[in-house]
Amino acid sequence: MADKQDSVVTNGQVVSLAYELRLENGEVLDKSEGQDPLEFVQGRGQIIPGLESALYGMHIGEEKAVVVNPAEGYGEYDEDELDVMPRKSFPDHLELSVGKGLRFRDKETGEVYIGYVAELDEDKAVLDFNHPLAGETLHFQVRVLDVREATAEELT
């Protein structure tokens, strides 16, 4: 049996990852320090594609910087994902504010979308259906804490 230190990240394995995520300007958006590490099954699309592809072949204990461009992260910012809605179309009890996320369900497909209030005035609300990190280049500092075979349950 291979030494645990020789375990490398490959498809179908559960990866335990310590990370810090920064924007291009250096602002820290998220980090695992002080929390449970990020755990996911490699090769299943559970994390953004650019980060997932950069992890292949890493060993337990290995650390590296990973830069993920928008196309391999949350996508390019798309102006077509903005929608103007009359303010009166929202329930009176709903407090709207710029930045607030709202859930919408597509009546035909049942799919749920999140729209963020981008602009607000007396008559209308402009909703942005882009992911909040769309168009951003993401800078990760990652360290592989553990790699193990996924259970059958984890693979389903």
Identify the structural domains of the chain with CATH numbers, from first to last: 4-74+133-150 (3.10.50.40), 79-128 (2.40.10.330)
Read off the pLDDT band of 1 (50, 70, 90). Answer: very low
Report angle CA 40, 61, 15 to the nearest 5 degrees.
10
Positive or negative: CA dihedral 33, 36, 42, 48? negative
Q: What is the pLDDT of residues 93-121, one digit of tens each?
A: 999 999 999 999 999 999 999 999 999 99
pLDDT for position 115: 95
pLDDT for position 61: 96
The mean of the pLDDT values for the chain is: 94
Q: What is the pLDDT of residues 68-94, one digit of tens each?
A: 999 999 999 999 999 999 999 999 899
- In the block, residue with structure tokens 């209030």: 117
- φ, ψ for residue 43 (rounded to 5)? 85, 5
pLDDT for position 6: 58
